[in-house]
Amino acid sequence: MTSIERVAVIGAGTMGHGIAQVCVMAGLHVHLYDPQPGQVESAVGRVLRANLERGIERGSFRRASQHGAGEPASVEALHESA
């Protein structure tokens, strides 16, 4: 069976950043895209800095490296070229 390692999320709004967060928590590398200026940066801030870090602080979940996984998951912001 093939394993999924990378996920592309189209749209960085409420639903998109939530999907990205769940994928990052599962240890996947996420490519996040949104055509709205500033939307991707805002979503990355919410996903990585706010939601994930708060969850770690509360003890709701641990960093991937603490689970013995290899490289930590990441989010790559993709922008539309004009």
What does the alpha-carbon distance between residue 13 and residue 69 come to, in Å, rounded to a whole number?
Answer: 29
Tell me the CATH architecture of domain 6-78.
Answer: 3-Layer(aba) Sandwich (3.40)
For CA atoms 47, 52, 58, 61, the dihedral sign is: positive
Map residue 70 onto helix, strand or coil: coil
Give residue limits of the domains in the chain.
6-78
C-alpha pair distances (Å), 72 with each of 24, 27, 29, 69: 9, 7, 9, 7
pLDDT one-digit tens code per residue, 65-74: 444 344 445 6
pLDDT one-digit tens code per residue, 22-58: 888 888 888 889 888 888 888 888 776 777 778 778 8
Fill in the amino acid letter for 28.
L
What's the pTM value of the predicted model, to 2 decimals? 0.69
